[in-house]
Chain A
């Protein structure tokens, strides 16, 4: 025992860590295995009994994991697009065309020191970013990405959506109030006032769509717009779309409505006192919100995952590859095809160019083979699973709107707080009421004619 302790004392710090962690892990792993062996069937049967729960948990996890890359992508897009609008290059050093810079920013923010200033309310201060971020993530849960690809098909999806949007504002208000800083306070109050006034036209403008489709479920609304692009609600509800887009911009705190973190007025708004990862949460939540708002616009007015024109049935290719039927042949194919294709792809470089050595040619062939294989797999998926097509259409439309948001940020100056409020109450609200009235009337008329 004494020997053990002496040996342990001689270890360096990493050594100590390793020699304490590894045994612990072993013990835990053994216990886990035992638990699975013992209680496995019970758990499995329980999960099998209520699949919706499992589906919900899995979907929530996937969505939560999906937000970070989305934020990175949109941040990079914003940096690059605004740079091009400023006649600059924008990031071009980190990664190909600087595409890794947003990731680097995010990780740096993660590794920064985050401290709680004196005088703040520690609990609220700590939880505000979490509330903001979780609100946006949970909003993402009801967004229909593709047929059958959504977190939950709530029959009150739209209502849930706006409720979660309101929750995010509570987070901003918490941040502004708890920061013990007057700039933050002003920012929080601004965001509260802004969202309180813009929730109303936002919701009212959507009611028209709800009347048309007769459902609050985003999935249902998207399904109702299937067919050609003429069935999209933007053509039946143009005014509603305009109102919704403006109000949604204010909801996402984007220029020209980004009064909550107006750099030139209140230093950084509600995020003035935040540093490190807590600031990172705000940072990401903003861009996730942009994605969400764009996605909602697409789902409500632009047919969601529906293609603009239906794919003609005549051109439909349905590959029928019964891999399981090949039996042992499958193994043989897996063993033979890759080397053969690699050699086949690599040989031309070896034969045609005397500079290239054999191993280099093989490496090139290997890379090419991977490219070809991935392409083939994707094509197969594209043809055989319709959700891939839907996902591609949905993301395409969504990022078009994200680009629109970035474009506005690069171009427009900021409005004043009183202009903001006046616009909401004097123009958007009456217009949305008018739109609602006209829609209801049209529906009644059409029904009566039928």
Chain B
């Protein structure tokens, strides 16, 4: 755990952080609002005190109540992974600014997040489906998308469907969606 990094982060964007800086093992996690993502990322990327010039991973998360996009950064200035969580995206229409202006390599990872979660990255000029076919209508990694034979939670029971075209008619989401007990 890199205490110095925690102090630096709190000093740099104290007011922007949603909640405290969490640290566990060799990871440091900050949570920010989606709107703040571009400048926070630019700060982390440009300013020499952080110097996070390598985006190691980008992914979306569906906590069952909200959507998140999670960025893992690496820098030679700190022994920790820095995890930036853009928190509080609405599950109905998740939108978040793209980081392709900093890392062009994030383009496909954002496409993947869009394909799997339906998260729209504003500023990504190639936001297409990347894995599933172009006319695929549902987002597999959402928590209300069930595996076909997952009879325990699936309203569709036995039907092995190649895709879930729309929400089941008898679905009352609260009952079935698996929610994380995380904050």
Q: In the complex, A touching B, CB below 8 Å?
A: no
Chain A residues near B (Cβ < 8 Å): none
Chain B residues near A (Cβ < 8 Å): none
